[in-house]
Amino acid sequence: MKEKFELEYLLKTSPRVLENMIGSPTGLSEWFADDVNANDDIYSFVWDGNVEEARLITHKMNTKIKFRWLADEEENLDTYFEINYQVDSMTSMVALRIVDFASAEDKEGAIMLWDQQINDLKRLLGA
């Protein structure tokens, strides 16, 4: 069984730039995966030559993007991963929130992977 976890990161960037990095296959392939391709609502994510496919469930411009892995869908798992963000009007910092699911034994590795990916994103953004 997979359990839900949430992570939050603060970024110093504009929502417009962040939206491009999160909301497009080109942007996602710069920090999230080695390559990303979209065919309608099915996104193919490539890591080290392995392809994982996910269905785009929600994409609200300048707010969030949400996917469900096809492998989880086939097992009728009610899981997904979501990247959402909002700008703090006082500080202009962007709070980036990750919602994901992992089994108890995989959770620590999943968190470390998100930390690495968000560090790559921060480096690209200069944030």
Helix (H) / strand (E) containing 42: strand 42-47
0.75 exceeded by pTM: yes
Confidence label for 127 from pLDDT (cuts 50, 70 and 90): low
Domain boundaries, the chain: 2-125
How many other CB atoms sit within 10 Å of the CB of residue 21? 20
* Proportion of the chain above pLDDT 90, given as a percent: 80
- In CATH, which of 3.30.70.890, 3.30.1490.20, 3.30.2320.50, 3.30.530.20 is domain 2-125? 3.30.530.20
Convert 83-120 to b/e letters by CB count within 10 Å (16 or more is b).
bbbebeeeeeebebebbbbbeeeeeeebeeebeebbee
pLDDT over 90 (residue 16): no
